[in-house]
Amino acid sequence: MSESRAELLTRLERAAQQIRRDVFRALRAGGGGHVGGSCSAADILSALYFHRMRVRPQEPEWPDRDRFVLSKGHANAALGAVLAQAGFIDPAILDRFYHFDSPFGMHPDIKMAGIEMCTGALGHGLAIATGMALGARMQKQAFHTFVMIGDGELHEGSNWEAALAASHYRLANLTAIIDFNKIAQSGRLTELVGLDPMADKWRAFGWEVREIDGHDMGAVVDALDSLPFHGERPSAIVAHTVKGKGVSFAEDTYLWHSNNVTDEVYARAMAELGAR
Q: Can you tell me whether residue 117 is helix, strand or coil?
A: coil
Q: Does 153 bind Mg ion (CB under 5 A)?
A: no
Considering beta carbons, is residue 77 or 84 the nearer one to Mg ion?
77
Task: Give the Cα separation of 4 and 245 in Å (integer).
Answer: 26
Q: Which residues face 86 on adjacent strands?
A: none
Q: What stretch of H or E contains 79? A: helix 76-86
Print the binding letters for residues 93-132 with Mg ion: x by CB under 5 A, - otherwise: ----------------------------------------
Give the per-residue contact string, 177-206, with Mg ion (x = CB under 5 A; - = no): ----x-x-----------------------
Closest approach of Mg ion to the CB of residue 201, in Å: 16
Residue 151 binds to Mg ion (criterion: CB under 5 A): yes
Near Mg ion by CB under 5 A, which window of 135-143, 149-157, 167-175, 220-228? Answer: 149-157
Q: How far is the CB of 149 from Mg ion (least distance, A)?
A: 10
Q: What angle do CA 265, 35, 130 make, to 5 degrees?
A: 165
- The beta strand positions in the chain, using DSSP E, are 32-33, 67-70, 145-150, 174-180, 183-184, 187-188, 208-213, 235-240, 259-260
152 binds Mg ion (CB under 5 A): yes
Write the DSSP symbol of residue 52: I
Tell me whether residue 171 or residue 212 sits nearer to Mg ion (CB atom).
212
- Site residues (vs Mg ion, CB under 5 A): 150-152, 181, 183
